[in-house]
Amino acid sequence: MQTIQEISVRSLHVNLREPFIISLGRLDYADNVAVIIKTSGGIIGYGECSPFRTIHGETSETCISIGNLLKDLLIGKDALQIEENVKLMDKAIYANSSIKSAFDMALYDIAAKDAGLPLYEFLGGKNDKVMCTDYTVSIDSVEKMTSDALSIKNCGFPVIKVKLGGEADDDIRRMKSIRTAVGNEIPIRIDANQGWTKESAIRILNEIAPLDIQHCEEPVSRHLFMQLPEIRKQSPIKIMADESCCSPIDAERLIDLGACDMFNIKLGKSGGIFHALKILRLAEKHGIEVQLGGFLESRLGFTATAHVALSSSSVKYYDFDTPLMFSMDPVEGGMRYGEGARIILSEEMGLGAEFN
């Protein structure tokens, strides 16, 4: 038993090297929240979330407020009883998946350390995958996006991800210009972040299909998920559900509808590792390929995501680039970026990462 004795919920503010712009808005800094849990056995667990107000409906301020509520609930509980603790948080307050994910992450860190295992092994995985991250081009002018895409290729990233979600003609020009500049060898994936109408999505996806696009994330508003089956039917590019796939219930609904080809799972959307694993089991059962990504978490949050990636054969795509956008690194240990943007995990117990 590892009784929870102390929980700290702290703000973690880090400026970005340059603005990160998507259809949902502009971001100049990561306004994250760190959760640190200490147990009776002297184990310390670390967690992190990156609230995104237009997706989670949460901010760092609301996360800290709800975090203090969750802290009061969990003090005195056994940190190793993860399922019970997750159910307790879910019963205490609806939604708030971002801050819950930070608590969940810290609990898994403790449990894996108590077992003397790296987190991926605690989850039943093996460190036997080659994981390479993409790097993202923010929405901007055609010229700026084309230049950024070429720089990403020249830096050795194996995949380029492009943020879209603007007017149809503009997005088509952006993609044609980028593909011309980077050539045909490097894969490109796109993310509309809910920015298109159904009609625009179908038109754009058909017009850029000759550009050899891996997949398209969340073409229309998350509330219009009933439109996804028709978009999928008419699109020559595979459709990946992101904002419309937060919980295991969402995933089941999308499967029943035949709404998408792929899932994008983020710990901050699912409420943490416990619920993310349930989505992964559904993906495995139904033959759905998965991308793991995140918001603006530091390397600590993405280290947890990388461990989860090693626990399932369904995870094929890795969107782990945002820590590279930070102006400073607040983390010691954890995943590293190797040659060719490869993600490297150590054999340390638990996450193998902590805040410095």
Point out the residues that are catalytic. 163, 191, 217, 242, 266
**Half-sphere CA count of 259, side-chain side, radius 13 A:** 25
Is 332 within 8 Å of 354 (Cβ atoms)? yes
Q: How far apart are CA 209 and CA 206, in angstroms?
A: 5
Give the pairing of strands 262-266 and 238-241: parallel
Would you put residue 194 in left (φ > 0), alpha (ψ -120 to 50) or beta? left
Task: Report how far apart the first and last C-alpha atoms of the chain are (Å, whole number).
Answer: 27
**Helix (H) or strand (E) run with residue 248 in it:** helix 248-257
Give the pairing of strands 160-163 and 331-333: unpaired
Q: How far apart are CA 215 and CA 227, in angstroms?
A: 17
Q: How far apart are CA 335 and CA 189, in angstroms?
A: 23
Is 142 within 8 Å of 174 (Cβ atoms)? yes
SS3 content of the chain, % helix, strand, coil (to 5): 40, 25, 35
Measured CA distances, 223 to 56, 132, 205, 219 (Å): 14, 32, 20, 11
| Per-residue burial over 62-73, b = 16 or more CB atoms within 10 Å of its CB, e = otherwise | bbbebbeebbeb
Q: What is the DSSP letter of 272?
A: S
Query: Tokens for 186?
Result: 């490097």
SS3 245: coil
